[in-house]
């Protein structure tokens, strides 16, 4: 049997807006993926630790506070340091267009802003995850 | 309200209308949907008549504004006497930048202030705390000490303007900053007016900026109630909030039910401590969302007033001020789109109108750019102008509760009240609000509703203009807010200087006394005030309370 895609949905930083993260977590689960949700208030270190322990293929970061440039890139750096560079990292939230190129450069492969459909996220993950 | 014979005749005629008029026309127009539902999935009929409110007793169930059960409004004159307070929620970067924004808003006709704090402040951390990394000034202004509060309100007359502060876990400490700032200017505490949100129950349910576990949180809240009526009698010591419950994805019915359930839980907690209901209840205030479904929103505010009045009467309240519900409204942030942001102006105008027709006491209108960033000056000015147009051009302020008596609205008001009552029963089955939180009841209900809505949106059953319909390619051409890039450095230096210059012995002694008070059962507010007067920071003061009370960990539900 084919191994299910394992996804960590994570809320780094102090941001408490978890509606989007929870809706996406539900949608990914309904799409047949195994979903682990970190809950709120995660440091970069905590997110990466959980990703290692849970042996995930994908990390989905959600942040609406505006701290994404610091926290998303912290996580991407840390993953590379720990030899987890092949985990697919995607992010969503209130992210201005002008920040997207720098986030992609740092290793966040997909950025999904407000209004993104759940289907779009599911398709992106299926197409980009390393099997 | 109508005599039986007339109602019987009416029912006959209504059926005839349906059979001979509505149904044949509907069958000729197959594009008319079979079912119409509002945002709470309540089925809406094509027409409402006196039949739908026939069993109401006008004097008992509806009555006059300013009279029990306050369905039609809390004052007899409503907006003829006083327009609602125009209060824009604002804050970003340093205290200096936000102070300038406040002066800008006041200069453009705003009538009350409302402080948005950044995330570290909301969690009781100073800007130099490791968990504050990346968050300085992003979602609001950073206030780490009395020094920052002094700058935030520099040249603003706090004895004449009221200020609302969205702060919950650390509310007693931030309120103490505000009081201490006035103390230092020689302004008597009895002259201070404003609101602290201070509603921790909805933090566990939805907004998630909690610090302490429920029991010590409730104790701190009751401490503020008691300190408030004794020392700062014009202050609203809580703003019991449905706004964030709604933003987290609840329906309007859930927002109504969960918020009022929280409200009654606070009242019971204060009474259990031995506080007299008619002393603290007049300073309880509320905060609701104004979302897209126009009539449902208006019905929600009206139902809320009636449920509150009846519930408070049952709990033994006698003063009108304890019985009537005063509330602030903010238009729905979650309804704004990043796509075609200018059309948000229209959404906000309609939502704001619903709040006014529902009898709000104060109002925040969102800015068109809020799905992209914190508001620019231009965007917030348009949002404020929207309120001014409603207040001064439309004429809706001329009469009280102008939609009262609408068959549809009265039916919907009753219906929402009934559904809220059903939720109260379910919450009771858990043993009250706190056990229901600990078992994840509210969180699950909200997650369910928000997922259902999102799916319907993607199936095209619901419309979001610019997102799943009337979509277009566009280049963003509205200016976004730019903050002072040196802000964080300024703030970090200020903290450093404060710690170096203050009387450390005095500061430490105040913290030690707070620790002992928190460990015992004295009211903590006077001790917190001593701490902040001695220039202990937010993080240091909350740090002591964290050590005594511990921190809350939430159940994970999605």
Whether the Cβ atoms of residue B192 and residue B185 lie closer than 8 Å to each other: no
| Collapsed DSSP state (helix, strand, coil) of residue A7 | strand
* Same domain, residue pair B54 and B67: no
- The secondary structure of B231-270 as a DSSP string is H-TTEE-EEEE-HHHHHTT--HHHHHHHHHHHHHHHHHHH
Domain carrying residue B18: 4-58
CA distance B424 to B260: 9
* Closest residue, chain B, to A21 (C-alpha): B558
Structure tokens at B347: 């959404």
B339 touches chain A (CB under 8 A): yes
Residue A2 pLDDT exceeds 80: no
The pLDDT value given to residue B176: 98
Q: Which of A13, A26, A94 sits opposite B558 (nearest CB)?
A: A26
- Residue B208 included in any domain: yes
The answer to whether residue B494 sits within a structural domain is no
Whether A131 shows a pLDDT value over 70: the answer reads: no
- CA contacts within 13 A on the Cβ side of B74: 24
Residues B25 and B140 in one domain: no
Mutation test of the interface with chain A: which of B125, B138, B450, choosing the one with the most A Cβ atoms within 10 A? B138
Indicate whether B91 belongs to any domain. yes
User: In whole angstroms, what is the distance from residue B338 CA to residue B368 CA?
Assistant: 9
In this structure, the answer to whether residues B161 and B31 fall within a common structural domain is: no
Q: CA B59 to CA B41: how far, in whole Å?
A: 31
Both B394 and B308 in one domain: the answer is: yes
Across the interface, which of A18, A27, A67 has its CB nearest the CB of B135? A67
pLDDT for residue B237: 98
Cα–Cα dist B172/B152, whole Å: 18
Measured in degrees and rounded to the nearest 5, phi and psi for residue B461 equal -75, -25
Is B247 found in the same domain as B217? yes
Asked if residue A64 lies in contact with residue A94, where contact means CB atoms within 8 angstroms, the answer is yes
Q: Is B323 on the interface with A (CB under 8 A)?
A: no
CATH number at residue B298: 3.20.20.240
ipTM: 0.85
- Residue B186 confidence (pLDDT): 97
Give domain status of residue B531, yes or no: no
Torsion, CA B343, CA B348, CA B351, CA B353, rounded to 10: -110
In sequence order, the 6+-apart residues with CB closer than 8 A to the CB of B335 are: B291, B292, B347, B351
B256 touches B420 (CB < 8 A): yes
Q: Indicate the residue among B58, B74, B97 that finishes a domain.
A: B58
B119 and B13 part of one domain: no
Tokens matching residue B291? 């979302």
| Peptide linkage before A108 cis (omega within 30 of 0) | no
Residue with tokens 């913290």: B511
Asked, for residue B177, whether it belongs to a domain, the answer is yes
Q: Are A12 and A64 in contact (CB under 8 A)?
A: no
B489 located within any domain: no
Higher pLDDT residue, B238 or A130?
B238
What is the rounded distance in angstroms from the CA atom of residue B494 to the CA atom of residue B500? 10
- Taking the C-alpha atoms of residue A126 and residue B7, their distance in angstroms, rounded to an integer, is 61
Q: Are residues B173 and B291 in the same domain?
A: yes
Question: Selecting from 3.40.50.10440, 3.40.718.10, 3.40.50.280, 3.60.15.10, what CATH number does the domain A10-115 have?
Answer: 3.40.50.280
SS3 B500: helix
The full 3-state SS of A32-61, as one line of letters, equals CCEEEECCCCECHHHHHHHHHHHCCCEEEE
Query: Residue B51's closest CA among B15, B105, B101?
Result: B15
* A107 touching chain B per CB within 8 A: no
Q: What are residue B364's phi and psi, to 5 degrees?
A: -115, 130
> Does residue B516 form part of some domain?
no
Residue A1's pLDDT band (cuts 50, 70, 90): low
Q: Is A31 on the interface with B (CB under 8 A)?
A: no
Which of B58, B84, B102 is the endpoint of a domain?
Answer: B58
Among B440, B458, B476, the domain-final residue is B458
Quick check: helix, strand or coil at residue B461? coil
CB contact under 8 A, A67 and B450: no
Query: For each of chain B's 558 residues, which pLDDT tens digit applies?
Result: 778 888 899 999 999 999 999 999 999 998 888 889 999 999 999 999 999 997 889 999 999 999 999 999 999 999 999 999 999 999 999 999 999 999 999 999 999 999 999 999 999 999 999 999 999 999 999 999 999 999 999 999 999 999 999 999 999 999 999 999 999 999 999 999 999 999 999 999 999 999 999 999 999 999 999 999 999 999 999 999 999 999 999 999 999 999 999 999 999 999 999 999 999 999 999 999 999 999 999 999 999 999 999 999 999 999 999 999 999 999 999 999 999 999 999 999 999 999 999 999 999 999 999 988 889 999 999 999 999 999 999 999 999 999 999 999 999 999 999 999 999 999 999 999 999 999 999 999 999 999 999 999 999 999 999 999 999 988 877 778 888 889 999 999 999 999 999 999 999 999 999 999 999 999 999 999 999 999 999 999 999 999 999 999 888 877
What residues does B196 pair with on adjacent strands?
A: B165
Interface test with B, best of A12, A16, A106, A122 (most B CBs within 10 A): A16
CA B127 to chain A, closest CA, distance in angstroms equals 12
Task: Give dist(CA B493, CA B141) in Å, integer.
Answer: 16
Measured CA to CA, the distance from residue B449 to residue B558 in angstroms comes to 11
B209 and B160 share one domain: yes
Same domain, residue pair B168 and B219: yes
**Looking at the domain assignment, is residue B512 inside a domain?**
no
Cβ-contact B102, B89 below 8 angstroms: no
Among B186, B232, B127, B166, residue whose Cα is nearest residue B490? B127
DSSP B453: H
Beta strands in B63-104 (DSSP E): 85-90
Does B89 lie in the same domain as B42?
no
Residue B325 DSSP class: P
Is the separation of the CB atoms in A62 and A121 below 8 Å? Answer: no
pLDDT digits (tens, 9 = 90+) for A58-115: 999 999 999 999 999 999 999 999 999 999 999 999 998 889 999 999 999 999 999 8
Residues B38 and B72 in one domain: no
Whether residue B82 sits in one domain with residue B188: yes
Chain B contact set for A74 (CB, 8 A): 133-134
Distances B439 to B31, B169, B213, B324 between C-alpha atoms, Å: 44, 21, 14, 32
């Amino acid at each position: 049997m084919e191994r299910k895609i394992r996804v960590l949905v994570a809320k780094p930083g102090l941001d408490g807006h978890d509606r989007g993260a929870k809706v996406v977590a539900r949608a990914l689960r309904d799409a047949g993926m195994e979903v682990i949700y970190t809950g709120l208030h995660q440091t970069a270190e905590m997110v990466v630790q959980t990703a290692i322990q849970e042996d995930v293929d994908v990390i989905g970061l959600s942040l609406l506070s505006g701290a994404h440039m610091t926290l998303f890139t912290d996580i991407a750096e840390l993953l590379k340091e720990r030899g987890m560079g092949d985990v697919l990292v995607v992010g969503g939230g209130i992210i201005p267009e002008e920040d997207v190129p720098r986030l992609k450069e740092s290793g966040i492969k997909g950025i999904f802003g407000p209004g993104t459909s759940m289907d779009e996220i599911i398709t992106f993950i299926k197409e980009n995850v390393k099997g | 309200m109508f005599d039986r014979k007339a109602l019987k005749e009416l029912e006959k005629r209504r059926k005839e209308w349906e059979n001979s008029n509505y149904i044949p026309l509907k069958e000729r127009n197959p594009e008319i949907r079979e079912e119409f539902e509002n945002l709470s999935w309540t089925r809406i009929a094509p027409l409402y008549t006196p039949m739908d409110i026939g069993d109401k007793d006008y004097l008992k169930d509806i009555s006059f504004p300013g009279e029990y059960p306050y369905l039609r409004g809390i004052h007899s004159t409503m907006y003829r006497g006083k327009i609602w307070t125009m209060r824009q929620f604002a804050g970003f970067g340093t205290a200096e930048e936000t102070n300038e924004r406040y002066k800008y808003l006041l200069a453009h006709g705003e009538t009350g202030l409302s402080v948005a704090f950044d995330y570290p402040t909301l969690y009781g951390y100073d800007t130099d705390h490791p968990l504050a990394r990346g968050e300085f000034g992003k979602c609001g202004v950073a206030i780490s000490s009395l020094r920052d509060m002094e700058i935030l309100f520099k040249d603003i007359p706090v004895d004449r303007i009221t200020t609302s502060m969205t702060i919950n876990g650390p509310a007693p400490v931030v309120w103490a900053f505000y009081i201490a700032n006035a103390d230092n200017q020689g302004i008597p505490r009895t002259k201070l007016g404003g609101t602290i949100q201070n509603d921790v129950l909805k933090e566990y349910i939805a907004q998630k900026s909690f610090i302490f576990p429920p029991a010590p949180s409730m104790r701190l809240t009751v401490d503020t109630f008691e300190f408030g009526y004794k020392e700062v009698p014009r202050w609203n010591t809580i703003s019991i909030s449905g706004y964030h419950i709604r933003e987290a994805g609840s329906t309007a019915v859930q927002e109504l039910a969960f918020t009022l359930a929280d409200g009654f839980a606070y009242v019971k907690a204060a009474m259990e401590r031995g506080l007299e209901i008619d002393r603290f209840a007049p300073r309880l205030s509320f905060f609701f969302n104004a979302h897209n479904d126009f009539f449902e929103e208006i019905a929600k505010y009206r139902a809320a007033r009636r449920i509150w009045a009846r519930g408070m009467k049952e709990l033994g309240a006698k003063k009108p001020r304890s019985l009537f519900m005063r509330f602030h409204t903010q238009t729905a942030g979650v309804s704004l789109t990043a796509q075609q942001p200018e059309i948000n102006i229209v959404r906000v105008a309609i939502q704001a109108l619903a709040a006014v027709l529902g009898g709000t006491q104060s109002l925040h209108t969102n800015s068109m750019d809020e799905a992209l960033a914190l508001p620019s000056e231009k965007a917030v000015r348009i949002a404020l102008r929207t309120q001014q147009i409603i207040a001064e051009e439309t004429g809706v302020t001329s009469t009280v509760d102008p939609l009262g008596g609408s068959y549809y609205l009265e039916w919907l008001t009753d219906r929402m009240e009934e559904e809220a009552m059903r939720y109260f029963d379910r919450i009771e089955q858990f043993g009250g609000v706190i056990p229901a939180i600990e078992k994840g009841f509210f969180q699950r209900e909200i997650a369910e509703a928000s997922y259902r809505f999102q799916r319907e949106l993607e199936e095209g059953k619901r419309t979001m203009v610019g997102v799943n319909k009337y979509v277009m390619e566009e280049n963003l051409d509205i200016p976004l807010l730019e903050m002072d890039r040196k802000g964080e450095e300024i703030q970090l230096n200020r903290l450093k200087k404060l710690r170096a210059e203050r009387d450390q012995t005095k500061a430490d002694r105040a913290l030690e006394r707070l620790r002992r008070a928190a460990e015992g059962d004295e009211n903590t507010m006077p001790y917190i005030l001593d701490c902040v007067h001695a220039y202990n920071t937010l993080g240091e003061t909350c740090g002591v309370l964290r050590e005594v009370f511990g921190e809350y960990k939430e159940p994970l539900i999605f």
